[in-house]
Amino acid sequence: MFIFSIVFVVGIAFLAGKIIRSMQANHLPASEEGLKKDLLIYPGSELNFSSEVMNEVLSKRQPYFSHLAKEEQERFLLRLKKFISSKTFIIHDRSGFREMPVLISASAIQLSFGLKEYLLPYFKFIHIFPAEFVGVQPTIRVLAGNVSGNRIHISWKHFLEGFQYTHDGENVGLHEMAHAYYFQNFEIGSYSDDNFVTHFPSFNHCGNKIFEQEKLPGNDFFSEYALKNFQEFWAESVERFFEKPVELKTVYPQLYSTMAALLNQDPVTFYSPHIQ
Ligand SMILES: [Zn+2]
């Protein structure tokens, strides 16, 4: 159920490569023990990024953060610090960048910024792969990201592509976090957010109609992948909500308003054509 795969586009991969190369100066230090296993392991509580470092990374690469008012940015940074320190980051490579824990965690903070409960305590581990990786459960397949057990897995290459084109409606970071928040709130049922839980039935009700409607010829706001099952529809709705809010509000106004209530935020005000 928690699978997300995307088609690879050579041009986009090139741009992501450029970003990775521009981060060479921001290497995270490697521990000897991790290197023996070809892994970099960082307990978030030991990362101790200063607000200045996080601010610098987010201002460069995270458009949502850049559009926030100053005092909201302070709140975002406080939440981000807490989130990072509550996770362990496992990088499946011999080099890691400070952008990895900061930006991947920032996707969770973006999605949950209007909610009271945002820490996803069930998900203790965030695994970062340099590019697409192989998942073995329930079947062997190539993945750009997935949520499995208490772990969130993300391909860094695909994660960066999500932020390269911020208005194409595709963002693997937001997609996987959408699965994780659903799982925390409904499958685990502890540390659930009242607002999220209260409004989800309205999303269900409205979303189910659109889920069926989108299967009809001529309707293509959602991808074929989103129509695989309702979980994927939910995850892609979150991607569209943040990356194509104006279009979502125009095509499916009721779905947009149920999501704005559920997530307690209104990205149309961020991403109006006048604000760049
Ligand atoms: Zn998915």
Higher pLDDT among residues 31 and 122, named by residue: 122
Centroid of ligand 1 to alpha carbon of 122 (angstroms): 18
Q: Are 249 and 268 in contact (CB under 8 A)?
A: yes
Cis amide leading into 273 (omega within 30): no
Confidence class of residue 35 from pLDDT cuts 50, 70 and 90? low
Reported as a single tens digit per residue, the pLDDT across 86-113 is 999 999 998 888 899 999 999 999 999 9
Centroid of ligand 1 to alpha carbon of 228 (angstroms): 10
Centroid of ligand 1 to alpha carbon of 226 (angstroms): 8
Confidence class of residue 136 from pLDDT cuts 50, 70 and 90? confident
Distance, CA of 148 to CA of 145 (rounded, Å): 10
Centroid of ligand 1 to alpha carbon of 145 (angstroms): 8
Helices 99-111 and 70-85: crossing angle in degrees, nearest 10, is 110
Centroid of ligand 1 to alpha carbon of 234 (angstroms): 9
Confidence class of residue 6 from pLDDT cuts 50, 70 and 90? very low
Centroid of ligand 1 to alpha carbon of 155 (angstroms): 13
Centroid of ligand 1 to alpha carbon of 1 (angstroms): 7
pLDDT of residue 31: 66
Centroid of ligand 1 to alpha carbon of 239 (angstroms): 11
Confidence class of residue 140 from pLDDT cuts 50, 70 and 90? confident
pLDDT of residue 242: 95
Find the mean pLDDT for residues 23-47. Answer: 73
Count of beta carbons in the 10 Å neighbourhood of residue 17 = 12
pLDDT of residue 9: 35
Is residue 273 predicted with pLDDT exceeding 80?
no
Side chain identity, residue 258: T
Find the mean pLDDT for residues 159-184. Answer: 91
CA 168 to chain centre: 15
Higher pLDDT among residues 14 and 51, named by residue: 51
Instruction: State the pTM of this model.
Output: 0.87
pLDDT of residue 21: 45
User: What mean pLDDT, rounded, does the chain reach?
Assistant: 87
Centroid of ligand 1 to alpha carbon of 165 (angstroms): 19
Count of beta carbons in the 10 Å neighbourhood of residue 248 = 24
Count of beta carbons in the 10 Å neighbourhood of residue 48 = 10
Confidence class of residue 45 from pLDDT cuts 50, 70 and 90? very high
